[in-house]
Amino acid sequence: MYICSVSGLETAWIGVKKGVSNDMCPSGGPFCWYQCISLPLGRYAGMMVISSDIALLAELEPEAERLLNHHIAVTKEWHPHTLVPWSRGEDFEPDYEWSPEEANIPEDVRSALYLNLLTEDNLPYYFRDIERMFGRDGAWGEWVRRWTAEEGRHATVIRDYMTITRAVDPVELERGRMAQVMGGKVPEPPSAVDGLVYVALQELATRISHRNTGAQLEDRAGYDILRRVAADENHHFLFYRDMAQAAIEYGPSEAAQAIERQVTTFAMPGEGIPDFYEHSKRVARSGIYDLANHHEQILEPIVMKYWNLPGLTGLNAEGEQARERTIAYINKSKRVADRIVARREEAAANAEKG
Ligand SMILES: [Fe+2]
Ligand SMILES: [Fe+2]
C-alpha cells in the first residue's frame, strides 16, 4: 500500500515505471498507474482522480446539469452532408499525385486547415481524458458523451470538404492522422479545475482558429462549414467557461493556482501532428491564431474580465501569489501582443503604399 501524496489516501499501485514520465501523476512524482481503492465513490475506482476533485465534481454537478440542459436547449442539430459541396468532387485516379495548384488556398491557410482537422481527429484521446477527469455518471458523464458526439461531426465535415476541394495532399493528411492518433499526445491537466480552465481556453482558441480560417479561405462553402463548426466550439467554450466560474466560486485559491498553471503553459493540442511547429508558425504568421488574438480575445476578456482574476477575493497566500504571477504574465503577454499588432499594421500600410 502507498499513501498518495496528492489525496493523502491509501492507494494500491498497479504498476511503476520510474523515470519514464511524470506527466500523468498529479503529485509530480514518478509515473505510475494507481487505483485509489479507498475513495468513497465506487464509480471512480480504477480512474486516476484526486480526492479534492471528487468533492469539487460532486458539488458542481447541479451546475453541470443546468449548463448541460441549457446547452441541449440552445444548440441546433445540423448535418455535415448538407454543407459539403459534393458537385465539385471527382474520382482520384490510381496514379494521382497532389499538387498545391489544385486548390487556390494560401499555404498558411492550408496549414490551418491541416492542424484544425488533425486536432479534431484526436478525439479518442480527448474523450479518454475528459471522461477520466469528470467521470461517467450523472450530468458530467452525459456532458462528456454529448460533447464527444458533437466533436465527431467536426472532423467529418472538415475532412469531406478538404477531400472534395483537394485542399491538401490526401496522402499526407492520412499519414498525419495516423501519426497523430497513434502518438496519443494530448494535454493532460493535473486536476479537474485545471481541466475546466484549460478546456475553456482551448475551446475558445479553437473557435477563433476555425472562424479565422474560414474567413481567409475565399470560398463560400468552406466559410460556411468552418463558421458552423466554430459555432459549436463557442457552445462548448460557454459550458467550460461557466463551469470554471463555478469552480472559482467553490475554491478560489485552488482555482487561482490552476489558472496560473494553465495560462502560463497554454498550448493548443496537436503536438503529435507531424511538423506541428512549422504549421503553427504559418498559422500565427497568417493571423489566424497568434499571441495577439490569444491575448486580446482570450486572456483579457475571459481570465481578466469574466473570471475577474484581479478582483478574486478569499484567496489564501498561495492563491494570492498565483494570482500576482498570472497577472504579471498576462501584462507581459499584452506587450508582446501590442508589438505583433503594430508590426502587422505597419506591414499592411506598406503593402497599401506599394
Ligand atoms: Fe471541434
Ligand atoms: Fe469543441
Protein fold of 52-353: Ribonucleotide Reductase, subunit A (1.10.620)
CA of 230 to the centre of ligand 2 (A): 8
Per-residue model confidence as pLDDT tens digits over 92-111: 999 999 999 999 899 999 99
35 - beta bridge partners?
A: 12
Average pLDDT over residues 54-75: 96
Helix (H) or strand (E) holding 118: helix 107-121
Q: How confident is residue 51, by pLDDT bands cut at 50, 70 and 90?
A: low
Comparison of pLDDT for 119 and 32, the residue scoring more: 119
Domain residue spans of the chain: 1-38, 52-353
pLDDT at 194 over 60: yes
Between 17-31, 68-82, 87-101, 277-291, the lowest mean confidence (pLDDT) is in: 17-31
Average pLDDT over residues 60-70: 97
CA of 233 to the centre of ligand 1 (A): 6
Cell of 171: 496522402
The bound ligand whose nearest atom lies closest to the alpha carbon of 122 is: 1
* φ/ψ of residue 12, rounded to 5: -105, 120
pLDDT at 123 over 90: yes
pLDDT at 33 over 80: no
pLDDT at 85 over 60: yes
Per-residue model confidence as pLDDT tens digits over 251-286: 999 999 999 999 999 999 998 999 999 999 999 999
The bound ligand whose nearest atom lies closest to the alpha carbon of 119 is: 1
> How many CB atoms are located within 10 Å of the residue 264 CB?
14
The bound ligand whose nearest atom lies closest to the alpha carbon of 229 is: 1
Q: How confident is residue 145, by pLDDT bands cut at 50, 70 and 90?
A: very high
Residue-level pLDDT at 21: 37
Average pLDDT over residues 309-313: 97
Whole-number CA gyration radius for the chain: 22
Cell numbers 475546466 correspond to: 196
Please give all residues whose CB falls under 5 A of ion ligand 1, grouped by chain where several chains appear.
Answer: 120, 151, 154
Helix (H) or strand (E) holding 58: helix 51-74
Comparison of pLDDT for 39 and 264, the residue scoring more: 264
Angle in degrees, CA 148, 105, 267, rounded to 5: 45
The bound ligand whose nearest atom lies closest to the alpha carbon of 123 is: 1
Residue-level pLDDT at 333: 95
Residue-level pLDDT at 45: 34
